[in-house]
Amino acid sequence: MAPTATTTTAAAEQQQHPRKAVGLAAHDASGHLSPIRIPRRNTGDDDVAIKVLYCGICHSDLHTIKNDWKNAIYPVVPGHEIAGVVKEVGKNVAGFAAGDRVGVGCMVNACRACESCEDGAENYCARVVLTYNSRDRDGAVTRGGYSDLVVADARFVVRFPDALPLDAAAPLLCAGATVYAPMRRHGLGAPGSHVGVIGLGGLGHVAVKFARAFGAAKVTVISTSPGKREEALERLGADAFVLSTDAAEMKAAAGTMHGIVNTASAAASLHPYLALLKPHGKMILLGIPDKPLQVSAFALIGGGKTIAGSCMASISETQEMLDFAAEHGVAADVEVIGAGEVNAAMERLAKGYVRFYSEPLR
Ligand SMILES: NC(=O)C1=CN([C@@H]2O[C@H](COP(=O)(O)OP(=O)(O)OC[C@H]3O[C@@H](n4cnc5c(N)ncnc54)[C@H](OP(=O)(O)O)[C@@H]3O)[C@@H](O)[C@H]2O)C=CC1
Ligand SMILES: O=C/C=C/c1ccc(O)c(O)c1
Ligand SMILES: [Zn+2]
Ligand SMILES: [Zn+2]
């Protein structure tokens, strides 16, 4: 049934969503998160009610609560890397049962009738409903996983293999799926290839892990943070680290990469990075800065290079990614924190600090 993007009053939402949950919400572009009561729907016939145990922090959460993209519907309850256990399922749900280890990623609904939905690519549905900050079929604003309970249609719930620990697997639901799907689709990280990863953050560090698991001949991290060099080479096992602010390092890497995964969360000229590609090389653009990117024709025509955007992943790609990650020992590097530390974590995320450092990296 196609979602209808009608608005709903708070009273109507309370009536439609009588179940009481609690969580964290931002009420304005300061992005400060504070406790909030969240109305959730009762478990419908096709729904799964999930006790949330972990939720990853994605930079999209920060972009949204700070209104970087000018689309925030406050109060915003972020979180679309949701991991937990099933509390109950609706009577039509066959694939899940109470106690199952499950997750919800970036989407909770789609029109289910368009070409994309019929192709199993709900992430490209023009009427996709995002896990938070979106309007669902009942007109209510979706509220994400910085909460103790979520209720989602079973079609948008995935299963964690037993081999994946829920805390380290939660970020895979967005970061992992978002890099895995286009890397597979475009052959980035394939055996014998040299792949570059721009940005050693949530998406970037998982892209390095997947590239190594795919059998890439060489994985190069391209970073603005000199403090991440050791992290990239020693802990993540990248083969090379290029400091993008170092002209000599960038020149030495020019024309050497078959593909680049661009996860930069802030606007940066693409030209120096495109120069790293071999002829016919491909840049997968994932980062969503708040400002448009510019590229000159010569930067692409010279060398027959491609820039391809990619948006989240389909549910089937997400489940495939989780199964692959379990088989190949891929999980996110995480620092588990309590709800009371999330605002501090957001401040560190905004500065590009990764989990292993308390002091500035730059
Ligand atoms: N397309 C999609 O479907 C999705 C998009 N996203 C987007 O991807 C981006 C990354 O998300 P996430 O990994 O969680 O964010 P993180 O903040 O964890 O990582 C982003 C990294 O980008 C690098 N970076 C920041 N500013 C610049 C700059 N000016 N130039 C070059 N590199 C820069 C930094 O790496 P370093 O210090 O190494 O330079 C930083 O660690 C966000 O914009 C997010 O909204 C996320 C999920 C899905
Ligand atoms: O972190 C993932 C977010 C992806 C995203 C995709 C589409 C869209 O409209 C967004 O606001 C975010
Ligand atoms: Zn995300
Ligand atoms: Zn659709």
ipTM score of complex? 0.98
Contact, 239 vs 209, CB < 8 A?
A: no
Q: Is the CB of 43 under 6 A from ligand 1?
A: no
Burial state string for 115-143 with b = 16 or more CB within 10 A and e = fewer than 16: ebbeeebbbbbebbbbbbbbbbbebbbbb
Helix (H/G/I), strand (E/B), else coil: 218: strand
- Per DSSP, the three-state class of 303 is coil
| C-beta 266 within 6 A of ligand 1 | yes
| Predicted confidence pLDDT, tens digits, the chain (362 residues) | 444 444 456 777 777 899 999 999 999 999 999 999 999 999 999 999 999 999 999 999 999 999 999 999 999 999 999 999 999 999 999 999 999 999 999 999 999 999 999 999 999 999 999 999 999 999 999 999 999 999 999 999 999 999 999 999 999 999 999 999 999 999 999 999 999 999 999 999 999 999 999 999 999 999 999 999 999 999 999 999 999 999 999 999 999 999 999 999 999 999 999 999 999 999 999 999 999 999 999 999 999 999 999 999 999 999 999 999 999 999 999 999 999 999 999 999 998 876 544 444 44
Q: What pLDDT does residue 1 have?
A: 41
Any bridge partners for residue 24, and if so which? 35
Whether 110 is in the pocket of ligand 1, judged by its Cβ within 6 Å, is: no
Write the residue with the smallest CA distance to atom 9 of ligand 2: 130
Question: In what helix (H) or strand (E) does residue 159 lie, and over which residues does it extend?
Answer: strand 158-159
Residue whose CA is at the smallest distance from ligand 2 atom 6? 311
Q: Which fold has domain 8-158?
A: Quinone Oxidoreductase; Chain A, domain 1 (3.90.180)
Residue nearest to atom 16 of ligand 1 (CA): 201
Over 3-68, what HEC string results? Answer: CCCCCCCHHHHHHHCCEEEEEEEECCCCCCEEEEEEEECCCCCCEEEEEEEEECCCHHHHHHHCCC
pLDDT at 355: 59
Report the nearest atom of ligand 2 relative to the CA of 311.
6
Select the CATH number that applies to the domain covering 176-307 from these four: 3.50.50.60, 3.40.50.720, 3.90.226.10, 3.40.50.300: 3.40.50.720
Pair of tokens at residue 133: 């900050």
- Domain positions in the chain are 8-158, 176-307
User: CB–CB of 167/154 below 8 Å?
Assistant: no
Residue 238: predicted pLDDT: 98
Distance, CA 251 to ligand 2 centroid (Å)? 33
- In the numeric block, the tokens 């930067």 are attached to 299
Atom of ligand 1 nearest to the CA of 199: 35
Structure-token match 């729907």, residue found? 41
Distance CA 205, CA 311 (A): 18
Q: Find out whether the beta carbon of 66 lies less than 6 Å from any atom of ligand 1.
A: no
| 8-158 and 176-307 in the same fold | no
Say if ligand 1 is within 6 A of residue 60 CB: yes
Spacing, Cα 319 to ligand 2 middle (Å): 19
The SS3 assignment for 177 reads helix
Looking at residue 94, its pLDDT comes to 97
Amino acid letter, 288: I
Residue 13: per-residue pLDDT: 74
